[in-house]
Structure 1
Amino acid sequence: MKLTQHIETEGNVIRAYADGEARINESVYRESLIVTPDRLITGWPADEGAPLAAEHLAPLLELGVDIVVIGTGRRLRFPAPEVLALLGSHGIGAEVMDTAAACRTFAVLASEGRRVAAALVLG
């Protein structure tokens, strides 16, 4: 699936996602990461083989975002409620979806100028 951004923006733009890899700006990533319009955190230790835990979401608390879009890989897998409650306790909304949908959602929210982060499980 190829994403096309029609609004001129500066910063990080998810240009494409396909089966375990994302193209952000002009670079291709194959390992899980966290992206905001102005930051890119690689080496996020989440993967499709293990459920998300609170320690996976801890880096998101320092980003100053209002909403986090969590892409859980090729398939939708909901984290335990107490894991998502960590974000809520810090006033951060969370949406969980497969990674392809998370890439699309991030693109829309970022183009609207929202303070958003995408936590993307890529492998």
Structure 2
Amino acid sequence: MRLTEITYGSALAIESYGPGFFRVGTHVLRGASLITPWDAGAWGGLLDMAAPLSLAGKIDVLLVGLGPEVSVIPRGFRLALEEVGIGVEPMNTPAACRTYNVLLGEGRRIAAAVLPVP
């Protein structure tokens, strides 16, 4: 099998994650984080809709990492994002990190809102 190294250009990939942290570029983020191809920072969790809503028109899909297990996203959170044209994909945090990097490598308009794993 031939393997090809993925390059992201200037976009920010999730380099690693672990108990309570995410490494994005040269930064280590602690706690819940919102990661886009151009920026990464703290996120207030599922009650913080303002930060993801500010991405309207810039992304098509928000991957939501819900920690070690998949759980239900609050209906209001999902509906608010869908109203502004952002699709919401819930998954566990490890899957959200991997999926974000794959879609980033494909040039997709995505972001990840991730809760840390213990």
SS in structure 2 opposite 1:110?
helix
Distance 2:106 2:34 in 1: 19
Q: Which runs of 5+ in 1 are unaligned?
A: 47-51
Q: Offset of 1:8 from its aligned partner?
A: 1.6
Residue 22 of structure 1: CA displacement?
Answer: 1.4
Residue 78 of structure 2 is aligned to residue 120 of structure 1: no
1:8 matched residue in structure 2: 7
TM-score by length of 1: 0.80
Query: Aligned residue pairs: how many?
Result: 111
Choose which of 76, 87, 103 in structure 1 pairs with 2:81: 87
Aligned AA for 1:62?
S
| In structure 2, C-alpha distance between the alignment counterparts of 1:34 and 1:22, rounded to whole Å | 10
* Runs of 4+ with deviation above 3 angstroms: none
Tell me the residue number matched to 1:110: 104
Partner of 1:58: 50
Match of 2:66 in 1: 72
**What is the CA-CA distance between 1:7 and the residue it aligns to?**
1.6
TM-score (norm 2): 0.83
Determine the structure 2 residue equivalent to 1:45. 44
The offset of 1:28, in angstroms, is 2.2
Please give the root-mean-square deviation of Cα atoms over the aligned residues, in Å: 1.8
What percentage of residue pairs aligned between the two structures are identical? 34
**Gaps spanning 5+ residues in structure 2: where?**
none
Q: How many Å separate the matches in 2 of 1:57 and 1:101? A: 22
